[in-house]
Amino acid sequence: MSNIDNVLPSYLEKASKEQKDAFFSALLHLSFVDGHTDEREFSFIKTAAEKNGLNDLDSLNYKDENDVLKKASIINDRHLALELIREMCMLSHVDNNLSDEETLFIGRLGIKLGIEIEKIEQISNWVIDRIIWTEQAKIIFEEK
């Protein structure tokens, strides 16, 4: 996913500091929920956080899932919640290994945000299709 740095656009500009903290806490928790954090995952989160004015990721409480889920309830804007699910689905594929733990956490967080399982599946399928199309384009256009 070479254009991973282009994610997390302007929809976060309208989010409050607390919503951004919750957003990035969820991404950080997802990055280690499978037992290890891939360097590309952390780099993506760090770059995106800095672009959105959060320079101290260590200050976020992201290791306790219950705390992360509770904090996420501050995200009461449906569009922002849907974007978080999308970003989580994208992040979970950065290391080319979508684990059961990642899938379950995305589902639990989505439910906490009031997003239907069917919508989460729809977003996940869209992300997978995007990855497939991107990889096919590399083959078709003989990109390295």
pLDDT tens, residue by residue, 128-137: 999 999 999 9
> Which CATH number characterizes residue 92's domain?
1.10.3680.10
Q: Which domain holds residue 39?
A: 15-140
Residue 20 maps to a domain: yes
Residues 103-111, mean pLDDT to the nearest whole number:
98
Residue 116 maps to a domain: yes
**pTM across the whole model:** 0.89
Residue 62 maps to a domain: yes
Residue 102 maps to a domain: yes
Contact 107, 117 (CB under 8 A): yes
Mean per-residue pLDDT over the chain, rounded:
90
Residue 59 maps to a domain: yes
Contacts of 133 (CB under 8 A, 6+ apart): none
In whole angstroms, give the CA distance from residue 100 to residue 12: 28
Residue 3 pLDDT grade (very low, low, confident, very high; cuts 50, 70, 90)? very low
Number of domains in the chain: 1
In whole angstroms, give the CA distance from residue 93 to residue 12: 21
Contact 45, 31 (CB under 8 A): yes
